Structure 1
Amino acid sequence: MDPDDEAARRDLFGQHLPHVAVEPAFPPAHTRHAAPRGHSFGDDPTASSPALRHEPARCATFPQRHGEPAAHAPAASYAAWALSEYGGGAGGGALPEFIGVGGGEGIFRVPLRAATHPARPPPLEVRPHPLRETQVGAFLRTLACDARGRQLWAGAESGVRVWALGEVFSAWPGAGPRRRGDEESAPFRESVPAPPALCAAVDGANRIVWTGHRDGRIRAWRMDLAAPAGDRAGSAPMFMEALSWQAHARTPVLAIVVTSYGEIWSGSEGGIIKAWPWGAIAKSLTFTSGEKHMASLLVEKAYIDLRNNATVGNVCSLPAADVKHMLADHCRAKVWSVTSTAFALWDARTRDLLKVFGIDGQVDLARLEAPVMPEKFIEEEIKVKPTKKEKPQGSFTFFQKSRNALMGAADAVRRVATKGTFVEDNRRTEAVAHAMNGTIWSGCTDGSIIVWDGNGNRLQELQHHSSSVQCIKALGERVWVGYASGIIQVMDVEGNLLAGWTAHSCPVINMAIGDSYIFSLAHHGGIRGWPLSSPSPLDDILRYELASRELSYTRLENLKILVGTWNVAQGKASPEALRSWLGGAFYDIGLVVVGLQEVEMGAGVLAMAAAKESVGLEGSANGQWWIDNIGKTLDEGISFHRVGSRQLAGLLIAAWARNDLKPHVGDVDAAAVPCGFGRAIGNKGGVGLRIRVFDRRICFVNNHFAAHQENVSRRNADFDHIYRTMTFNKPHGSTASTTSVQLHKTVSANENQADDDRPELAEADMVVFLGDFNYRLDGITYDEARDMVSQRSFDWLRERDQLRAEMKAGNVFQGMREGPIRFPPTYKFQRHLLGLSGYDSGEKKRIPAWCDRILYRDSRPVSIAECSLECPIVAAITAYEACMDVTDSDHKPVRCTFSADIARVDELIRRQEFGKIIQSNEKVCSLLQELHIVPDTIISTNNIILENQDDVILRITNNCETSKAAFEILCEGQSIRKQDGTKSELLLRPSFGFPLWLEVQPSVGLIEPGETMEVAVHHEDFFTEEEFVDGVQQNWWCEATRDMEVVLSVNVTGSTSTKTITHRINVRHCCPVPTAPPPVNPRSITDAPSDAVSSSKNNQSNHLQRSDFANFGSSEVHDLCVMPK
C-alpha cells in the first residue's frame, strides 16, 4: 500500500485494528466467531467469500470452506478442525503456531483488503495489470482516444493496438489473445509488428490515428477496421498502416500534433520540428497499396523545417534540446512545442515563431541553449592511489587494516545512498495540456503545475502533490493530473483540488478521454477507466453493487511453498546435502525460496561487495555457484524455472517456481538492507524478494542478525531496521527478462520511518522472514543443553529461547507466526560429525541454540479469518524441520513448507458485472442521465456570409443557470461554389481543422451559467503556392468566380460526460475579383497576437446579416455509455 493509500485509509476508518496477542493452539470451541471484513488499498483490490476455485495440476486438494464441522461430527473431528483452524488455517495437516505479540498495531498490522477500494472510484479494468515478465518488447507507452468513434488506441513497443469501447464488457472469442499477459484484457486488435510507438494523435474527421515511432517514421492507421477483436477462430487478423514516411532521418519522433488547420507537426531530438501540409498527405492516402513507396516519397518531400524557418543569420532562438511535447491550442490557432526547460509558441496558420520562454516565463535564450544534463547519482569513485612511504607511527594489525577498509567502503555506500535519495533533480516539464477555458497547463518533475495564458504569460503556479507530474488532461471545467506516485487528482480550471485517489501502484504515464471515462495508462501497462463524473454519488453506488456481487468473481487457488534457510559458513554443499534439504520440492511444491548466509566473508570480500553496491552491482562467483547447484537439485529448466535472486555480500536469496505456475508468477522485485558497520556493510542485514503470485504480493526476506549471546537488543534492532527500510526496486520494463530476473538495487540507507509511514513489507499480503537470526538460549549451560537435547526435552529448551521471549514481549517479529520447534538446536556443530558429538566441543563450547528460523505473517487480522478477498492469503505451516544429517556447515539447514489459500479476482467476470450494473441498474441509469445532461445553449445564427474581411461575431449563449457549458468549434468540411451555382462535394478537413482562409477565435471556450460568449469569424487573404481540391493542385486565387463554403459545428458538452449537442453553421465567403498575391510580411517573434475572447450578458453590435437568436441546425450526439431507455 502506498503512503497516500494509507493516509486515505486512516481518514476513512480513523482507528487501528485490534491488538493481537499470543493465541493458544487449541482455543475453546465457543470462541470461534465470524471473521471481520477489512478493506483493501492494494493495486488490485479484490472481493470476499470463497465461491469458485481453480485447481492447477500441481495443487493439492483442500476443503471447500474453512467452516465449522457439522453438529453431529465426532469429538475427534472437532479437535482436528480446531488444530487446522487455529494452528494454520489452510486446510488439513496444519501445525499449531506460536504468534508474536503486537501484530495488530501500527506498521505491524496486516494490510486492509476488500472487493472494491473504499477510497477511489470503481474503475473499468480495460487491461488489468500484466506481469512484467510477459511484457518484454511489448510495453504500452502512449494512449489516445477517439470519443466519437468509441475507440481506445495504445502505442506499444511492438506496434499499436486498439480497443473498441463497445466490446470492453465482452470475453475473448475463440482462442483468446495471442500474447501472454493479455488473458484478462478486454478484447483488442493489434497491428502488424512495428518499431516502438512513442506518441499518437487522432484525426476524427478522416478516421485516422497518427503515431510517431522510434525509427523516425510517422505511420497512419485507419480507424475503420474490417473485423472485430476476435472471431470464432480466435484473434482477428493484424491490421497494417495506411501510410508511413520517414519524418526524421536518424532520430525518433518524440511528439506529434495536428494543428487547428489540419497540418501534422512532429518534434524530435535536437529541437527539430517539421510541418507536413495536409494536401500532400491527402493525396498520398489515395494511392493503392502497391504505390506505398511513391506515397511516402510524396509526403517526405513536402515537409517544412520550422527550425530553419526560425533561423536568421545562423542564429536560432529555439533551444537545441529534445522536443518532448507538442500541443495544439485550438482556442487561438497556435502550437506549443515543449522541451524539458523551455517553451516555443507558434502561429499554426502562418507557421511563424512567436515567442520562446522558460519555465519561469522569462525569455533567457542563453540559458535555454544550455543542454540538459542527466543527474549523476554517483559523484565520487573509490580509487586506490599509491601514496608516498611515510615513517610508520606504529604497527597496524590485520584487524585494524580490515576495519579501515570496511569503514571506508561503508562511508562510500552511505554517501552514494544519500545522494541517490535526497539530491533534488532539476525542475523539468513533463506534461502539457490545454484547458477548456483557454489556459495552458504544464506539469513539472517537482509536482508543481504552471498555468499559462494563450500568449505564454504565467498566470499562476499551484501544487497539490510532491510527486512528479506525468500527464494532464482536461474536459469542460475539470482537469485531471496523473503523477509518478500513481495518484490521479481532479481539479477545476481555477486550480482548486476537487478529489484524488491512487489509480495505480506505479506512475500514471498517460491519459485519454472518451466514452464518458478518463482512461489511465500505468507504467506496468495496465489501463483503467474512471468515470468523468467522479467524485460523485455514482461512485458509492457502483462500489456497493460490485461488492455485493463479489461471490461471482472470486476465485480461490492453493499454493504449496517450500522455504529453506542455511548458514553455509563460506563452504559449498555436496549434492547429497542439497537433495536432503530440498529434495521434497519434486512433489507438490509450487514455489521454492532459499536463503543462505555467510556465502562468503572476510574484510576484503565485504569491502568489495560494498563497492559493488555503490555502483549498482551485486553478486559473486560463490553466489552463482550456489544458485546453479540449487537449480540442478530442483531440476531447473524441466520442473522449475528461476524467477529472481539477490545477493548482498554473504547474504543470498533466490526463488524458483514450478513451470505450470509461470503464467501466474512474476513482477519480481529485489531489495537489500545492510546492518553491519554502521548499517552500511552486508556482513549482517537482509536481502529480499517480492513476488506477485495470483495477483497477490508475497515477500521473502533472508536475514543475518547480530551475533553473540548478549546482543539481544541489537538483534531486535536489526529486524526493526530491515522491516522499516527495505525498499524493493521496480526495474524498467525494457530491461526485464522473460525467464529469470537478476535484479540490481542500491542498498537502502534511509533512516527509520515513522510508524505512520507504512513500510513496503507491511503492505505485502504475506511476508516470510528466514535466516540466521542468532537468538540463543538463556539461563542454561552447555552440558545442560546437550542433556536436554539428548532427552529431546525441546519444551524445556524453548522456555529459554531468546526469540520466543522477545516475541512474547512484543519486541520483535510482532504478529508473526512460527511452527512448533520439534527438532534439535541447529547451532553450533563441528563439520562432518553426526549426532550429539557434532555439537561444538572446542574451547568456547558454544551453547546449542535455534539460530536458524523461519517465521511468517499472512493476511489474517485474527486466526479465525477465512480466505476471501478481504483476507486474500490464509497460510498454514505443514512441516517445520531441520536436516540434522547434513554436516557441511556449523549450522544445520532448516526448511518449512506452507499451504497457502489465495483469493483472487476473475477480471473478466468482474468487468462483465460492471457492465451489467452500468446498463441495467435503475439507480445507476437514473444517476447517469442526470450526470450526462448537456447545458442548454443557443447560437445567434446558423448562416454567416464573409465579405470585405470584416469580423462577424457569433454569439453562443448558455441558458443553463447552474452549469458551465464547454464548446468547441470544428470544421466538418469545405466546398466550392461553381459558376453554375452548384457546389462541389464537401471535403473533410483533417482533424476538423479550419481552411487557411478562415479564422475563428476563440474556437474553444467555457461559458459561465447564463452568459454569452462572442466568437470572431474572419476571412484572411492567405496565399499559398498551391492548394489541393479533390486531390488536384489548384491556384485558387486565380479563379475569379469561386466562392468558398464551410460547415462549422459548435459542439457543446458538460464536464461529467462526453455527451455532446451540436449546432451547425454554414459559412460562405464571397470571393472578390482576385489580385496578385501580395508579399507576406513575417511577424516579429516578440509580437504575440491579442486574443479575441470576450464574455458578456449584454448583446453588443452584431455584424451578422441575420440577427435574432436561433437554435438552428442543432443535433444531439450521445456519448457511448448511455443507459437504455
Structure 2
Amino acid sequence: MEDLSGALNSISLGQKDSELVDSFGLYVVTWNVASAEPPDDVYSLLHLSSPKKPDIYVIGLQEVRAAPLKFVSDLVFDDSWSHLFLSTLAPLGYVKVTSIRMQGLLLLFFSKLDHVPFIRDIQTTYTRTGLYGYWGNKGGVSIRLSFYGHMLCFLNCHLTAHMNNASHRVDEFEHILDAQIFDANNTPRILDHKAVFWFGDLNFRIADHGMHFIRTCITSQRFNLLWPKDQLTMMKEKETVLQKFEEGPLDFQPTYKFDLNSDSYDTSGKKRKPAWCDRILWRVLSKSLQEGVVEDGCDKEEQKKTREEDFPLRVTQECYTGKMDYNISDHKPVVAIFCLELRKMYDTPLVHVCAEGDWSADLDALISYSPLQSFSSGAWDWIGLYEVGFKSISDYITYTWVKDDQVAFIDELFQVYVSKDDIPVRGGECVLCYYSSNLQCIVGISQPFKVQGSRAAIEEGCLPENIDGLNQAVAS
C-alpha cells in the first residue's frame, strides 16, 4: 500500500507568484460500511501514525445502519461511527465542526481547533434519489462553508447500483446538483463554490472486460489496462457536468466487491466483477469568472461580485489510495490527501473572548469579550464553557447568553455573568467559545485557563484537590 507519510509531511507554507500563501492539509475518506458496526480503531484509516497531521478531516460514509429504531436513537445520541471518530480525533486536538446524516449517508467535518473561528457560513443539506426521490437510501448529503474566506463544498453521494445504470448515475448526480440550494447570494449552488469535493459510493463499474481479465490485471497490478473501460472515466468524455472534475490515477486495486471479513473478491454465486465504485474527485472554480467569461450558466452581473482577492486557491492531490486492511464491509475505504494553498481573506477572529480572574465552582464568574471586526451579533448568541479537548461544538459544559446575561459594557468591551452553580465542581482546563447564532459557528475562542474545583466538595472528601487527583481516584 502507498506510504502516506511523505504526502502529509509535504504540506507546509510556501511562496506563490511572490505572494505569501498558506497551505492546509485536507484528508478525505469515503467508505461504504455495508451496515457493519465500526472496527476497533481507525488509526490506520486516518493515518494517525504520521507526525504531520492534516488540518481538516472530511469523512463520508454510506450504508451506515439505518434500521428504524437504530436511526431514531442515532438522532438523539451520536451513532457508533460518529462516536468512534469523535473519540479518536478529539484527543489529537480536532473538533467536529458539523455533520449531516440522511438515513445511511453520513458526512462528518473535523478541524484542528486553531482553525475553528475561521470556518464560517456553515450550511448542510441533503437530496433523496431512492424510490423516485422519496427514500433516502440513495442520494447526496453536503456541507458547505467558508474556510478563511474561501467557499468550499463537500458532497457525499451514494448513487444507484448495477452495471447498466451508468447514465442514470450521471442523471442522479445532475439532479443532486440542481436540487441542493444554499441560503447565500454568491454561492447558492454547489458548483458556485470555489472548490467542490465530490466523493462516495458512486457505483460506476468496469464495463466489457470479463472476470478473468479483470482479476489478472489486479493480480499483476496493471490497473491502467482497466482504466479505459471504467464507466466514470468513459462518462467524463461525453458528459459536460463531469469534465471539470479532476481525479487522481486509479493506482490501487478496485475496492468492490469483497467477501465480508476477507481480502477475496466476491466468491458468491453472483461473482460480481471488481470495480472502483468508491471515488474521490474535486473541482476548482476557474479564474475565468473574474475575467468576464460566463461559466456554468452564471450571468455576468453575478460574476462581477467575485473579487480579485478571492484568488488564488490551489488544490493539489498528494495521495489517492484504497485502504485494504479493513474488511468489515464488501467495500474497502478510499482516502485522498489534498494540499489547499490559499491566501487568507482574514486571520483575526471576529471576537476576542477571555475569562476574567480566577474561576472556581465556589464563585460567580465573569467573561469579557470584544468584537474585533464588525459582524451581526444576534439575540441568541452565547458563550460556552468547554473542557480542553472537547469533541464537538455541542459538547459544552455550560453556556451564558451574550445579551441576557450582560453585566457591563465599556468602549466595545462587554462582560457577561456565569453563575457558580453552572461551573463544574471538579474543575479542570477549559476554554470559552463565542457562538454566533446568525453565522451558525464559533467566532472566537479564549486561551486555555484553569477552573479550580469546589473547595467545599474537597473539604467534604467528595473530590481530590485537582483534576489529576480525580482521574487517579477514578482509575483506582
Which TM-score bucket, shorter chain as reference?
Answer: 0.5 to 0.7
Provide the residue aligned with 1:566 in structure 2: 31
- CA drift at 1:713: 1.4
Cα distance in 2 for residues equivalent to 1:907 and 1:691: 16
The letter for the 1-side match of 2:260 is R
- CA drift at 1:621: 6.9
Provide the residue aligned with 1:854 in structure 2: 280
Cα distance in 1 for residues equivalent to 2:274 and 2:101: 28
In the alignment, does 2:255 pair up with 1:791? no
Cα distance in 2 for residues equivalent to 1:622 and 1:599: 15
In the alignment, does 2:271 pair up with 1:842? no
Conserved in 2, the CA contact under 8 Å of 1:600 and 1:622? no
Cα distance in 1 for residues equivalent to 2:340 and 2:216: 37
Provide the residue aligned with 1:767 in structure 2: 196
* Cα separation, partners in 2 of 1:599 and 1:620, compared to 1, 3 Å: farther
Conserved in 1, the CA contact under 8 Å of 2:261 and 2:328? yes
Cα distance in 2 for residues equivalent to 1:758 and 1:900: 19
- CA drift at 1:569: 0.2
The letter for the 1-side match of 2:44 is S
Conserved in 2, the CA contact under 8 Å of 1:580 and 1:886? no
- The SS at the match of 2:97 is strand
- The SS at the match of 1:630 is helix
- The SS at the match of 2:242 is coil
TM-score (norm 1): 0.27
| Corresponding residue to 2:335 among 895, 906, 911 | 895
Provide the residue aligned with 1:64 in structure 2: 15
Conserved in 2, the CA contact under 8 Å of 1:765 and 1:872? no
Q: Can you list the C-alpha shifts for 1:65-104, whole angstroms capped at 9, x where unaligned?
A: 269xxxxxxxxxxxxxxxxxxxxxxxxxxxxxxxxxxxxx
Provide the residue aligned with 1:556 in structure 2: 21
Provide the residue aligned with 2:131 in structure 1: 677
- The SS at the match of 1:721 is helix
| Corresponding residue to 1:582 among 38, 46, 50 | 46
- CA drift at 1:906: 5.1
- The SS at the match of 1:850 is coil
Conserved in 1, the CA contact under 8 Å of 2:130 and 2:139? yes
Q: Can you list the C-alpha shifts for 1:731-762, whole angstroms capped at 9, x where unaligned?
A: xxxxxxxxxxxxxxxxxxxxxxxxxx985112
| Corresponding residue to 2:100 among 642, 646, 652 | 646
* Cα separation, partners in 2 of 1:572 and 1:830, compared to 1, 3 Å: same
Q: Give RMSD over aligned pairs.
A: 2.9
Q: Can you list the C-alpha shifts for 1:483-504, whole angstroms capped at 9, x where unaligned?
A: xxxxxxxxxxxxxxxxxxxxxx
- The SS at the match of 2:174 is helix
* Cα separation, partners in 2 of 1:810 and 1:673, compared to 1, 3 Å: same
- The SS at the match of 2:225 is helix
The letter for the 2-side match of 1:660 is D
Provide the residue aligned with 2:81 in structure 1: 626
Conserved in 2, the CA contact under 8 Å of 1:59 and 1:558? no
Q: Can you list the C-alpha shifts for 1:285-343, whole angstroms capped at 9, x where unaligned?
A: xxxxxxxxxxxxxxxxxxxxxxxxxxxxxxxxxxxxxxxxxxxxxxxxxxxxxxxxxxx
The letter for the 1-side match of 2:12 is T
Conserved in 2, the CA contact under 8 Å of 1:599 and 1:623? no
Cα distance in 1 for residues equivalent to 2:164 and 2:33: 23
Q: Can you list the C-alpha shifts for 1:432-466, whole angstroms capped at 9, x where unaligned?
A: xxxxxxxxxxxxxxxxxxxxxxxxxxxxxxxxxxx
| Uncovered stretches (5+) of structure 2, i.e. residues with no partner | 1-8, 292-307, 349-476
Conserved in 2, the CA contact under 8 Å of 1:859 and 1:874? no
Conserved in 2, the CA contact under 8 Å of 1:719 and 1:813? no
TM-score (norm 2): 0.62
In the alignment, does 2:268 pair up with 1:803? no
Cα distance in 2 for residues equivalent to 1:809 and 1:728: 28
- CA drift at 1:563: 0.5
The letter for the 1-side match of 2:281 is L
* 1:374-413 → structure 2 map (5 Å cutoff): none
- The SS at the match of 1:904 is coil
- The SS at the match of 2:25 is strand
Cα distance in 2 for residues equivalent to 1:818 and 1:829: 23
Conserved in 2, the CA contact under 8 Å of 1:701 and 1:768? yes
| Corresponding residue to 2:163 among 706, 709, 716 | 709
- The SS at the match of 2:274 is coil
Cα distance in 2 for residues equivalent to 1:620 and 1:870: 37
* 1:679-1078 → structure 2 map (5 Å cutoff): 679-728=133-182, 760-834=189-263, 838-861=264-287, 869=309, 871-905=311-345
Conserved in 2, the CA contact under 8 Å of 1:565 and 1:895? yes
Cα distance in 2 for residues equivalent to 1:639 and 1:59: 20
The letter for the 2-side match of 1:64 is Q
- CA drift at 1:623: 6.0
- The SS at the match of 1:813 is helix
- CA drift at 1:649: 0.6
- CA drift at 1:662: 2.1
Provide the residue aligned with 1:139 in structure 2: none
Cα distance in 1 for residues equivalent to 2:82 and 2:225: 38
Cα distance in 2 for residues equivalent to 1:684 and 1:895: 21
- The SS at the match of 1:569 is coil
The letter for the 2-side match of 1:777 is I
The letter for the 2-side match of 1:579 is Y
- The SS at the match of 2:146 is strand
| Uncovered stretches (5+) of structure 1, i.e. residues with no partner | 1-57, 68-553, 613-617, 731-756, 909-1125
In the alignment, does 2:48 pair up with 1:593? no
Q: Can you list the C-alpha shifts for 1:339-379, whole angstroms capped at 9, x where unaligned?
A: xxxxxxxxxxxxxxxxxxxxxxxxxxxxxxxxxxxxxxxxx
Conserved in 1, the CA contact under 8 Å of 2:118 and 2:347? no
* Cα separation, partners in 2 of 1:818 and 1:59, compared to 1, 3 Å: closer
* 1:493-504 → structure 2 map (5 Å cutoff): none
The letter for the 1-side match of 2:273 is I
* Cα separation, partners in 2 of 1:622 and 1:684, compared to 1, 3 Å: farther
Conserved in 2, the CA contact under 8 Å of 1:591 and 1:655? yes
- CA drift at 1:726: 1.1
Cα distance in 2 for residues equivalent to 1:718 and 1:628: 31
- The SS at the match of 2:253 is coil
- CA drift at 1:793: 1.1
Cα distance in 2 for residues equivalent to 1:581 and 1:727: 32
Q: Sequence identity, in percent?
A: 30
Cα distance in 1 for residues equivalent to 2:188 and 2:165: 25
* 1:154-173 → structure 2 map (5 Å cutoff): none
- CA drift at 1:690: 0.9
The letter for the 1-side match of 2:247 is E
Conserved in 2, the CA contact under 8 Å of 1:789 and 1:824? yes
Cα distance in 1 for residues equivalent to 2:222 and 2:241: 25
The letter for the 2-side match of 1:569 is A
Conserved in 2, the CA contact under 8 Å of 1:826 and 1:849? yes
- CA drift at 1:673: 0.6
* 1:124-163 → structure 2 map (5 Å cutoff): none
The letter for the 2-side match of 1:789 is I
Q: Can you list the C-alpha shifts for 1:1013-1043, whole angstroms capped at 9, x where unaligned?
A: xxxxxxxxxxxxxxxxxxxxxxxxxxxxxxx
- CA drift at 1:601: 4.5
Cα distance in 1 for residues equivalent to 2:57 and 2:233: 26
Conserved in 2, the CA contact under 8 Å of 1:555 and 1:904? no
The letter for the 2-side match of 1:760 is R
* Cα separation, partners in 2 of 1:675 and 1:556, compared to 1, 3 Å: same
Conserved in 2, the CA contact under 8 Å of 1:728 and 1:760? yes
* Cα separation, partners in 2 of 1:798 and 1:623, compared to 1, 3 Å: farther
Q: Which has the larger radius of gyration?
A: 1
- CA drift at 1:786: 0.9
Cα distance in 1 for residues equivalent to 2:17 and 2:51: 28
